[in-house]
Amino acid sequence: MNTFLNVCYCEEHNQHLDIYLPECESFPVFVYFHGGGLEAGDKAHQSLLYRYLTDHGVAVVAPNYRMYPAAHYPDFLVDSAKAVSWTLKNIGIYGNATEIYVGGSSAGGYISQMLCFDESWLSVHEIKPSDIAGYVHDAGQPTCHFNVLRERGIDSRRVVIDEASPLYYVDDRQSYSPMLIIVSDNDMENRYEQTMLLVSTLKHFGHTENVKLKVMHGTHCAYIGAVDENGDNVLGKLVLELIHK
């Protein structure tokens, strides 16, 4: 695995990403946004996932993004869209990238959902969400994120579906790239139920072929660094299944 750490993708806000490359000439790329409630976490924290994917021929781009308390909505979405744009325009410098996939866990899953369902974030960079080969929405909140509610002075337990909610944008006006939606049966309070509503709404608008749901057994994101009985990274194996279709 070849690594390029702290590559600047946004000079204006001093944001960086890490690149992990497999030992092969051509490779798909997985842009992965870390979790942490939009207020914690770091791009370097899922090294086991990155190692597993690169060992199986997939490059990983792991960006940081602005977070609370210094950030405000929608700073993290602006940064994340820039990171995806940077990857599309520049990853060819590092090798022959075949396809670009986008995903994230928890807060990163909220980000990947927003980039997927609200086309305005990527369109600033002349990118359509469907230009992305596929998405992995892992344990993301499909309603207004609890920390966005807190920023507004609203009880973070509220279920609000508005312009800051991925679910708000699901309709039949666009076709979606293949996506994997992951949630745990013992996830954060109300996360499972909200995820089921997202899946149900996608089906209600006829998006069934390209949407796959995976329900994990356990607590919120406990599987990210876990390995199965065969020694495979659990989340990494799911990502590979999507990429290899």
Give the pLDDT score at 25: 87
Residue 213, SS3 per DSSP: strand
Task: Tell me what pLDDT residue 219 has.
Answer: 96
At 242 the pLDDT is 97
Per domain, the residue ranges of the chain are 2-244
CATH number of 2-244: 3.40.50.1820
Q: What is the pLDDT of residue 175?
A: 87
Strand partners, 214: 182
At 245 the pLDDT is 82
Identity of the residue numbered 47: S
Tell if the pTM clears 0.95, that is, is over it. yes
Closest CA to 84 of 42, 32, 140, 119: 32
b/e burial code for range 16-27 (CB count within 10 A of at least 16 → b): bbbbbbbeeeeb
34 within 8 A of 140, measured Cβ to Cβ? no
CA 234 to chain centroid: 16
Q: What pLDDT, on a 0 to 100 scale, did the predictor assign at position 109?
A: 98
Q: How far is CA 98 from CA 19, 38, 56, in A?
A: 15, 30, 15
Q: Which residues pair with 137 in a beta bridge?
A: 104, 181
What string of pLDDT tens digits covers the 245 residues of the chain?
899 999 999 999 899 999 999 999 899 999 999 999 999 999 998 999 999 999 999 999 999 999 999 999 999 999 999 999 999 999 999 999 999 999 999 999 999 999 999 999 999 999 999 999 999 999 999 999 999 999 999 999 999 999 999 999 999 988 899 999 999 999 999 999 999 999 999 999 999 999 999 999 999 999 998 999 999 999 999 999 999 98
What is the pLDDT, as a whole number, of residue 173? 81
- pLDDT value at residue 85: 98
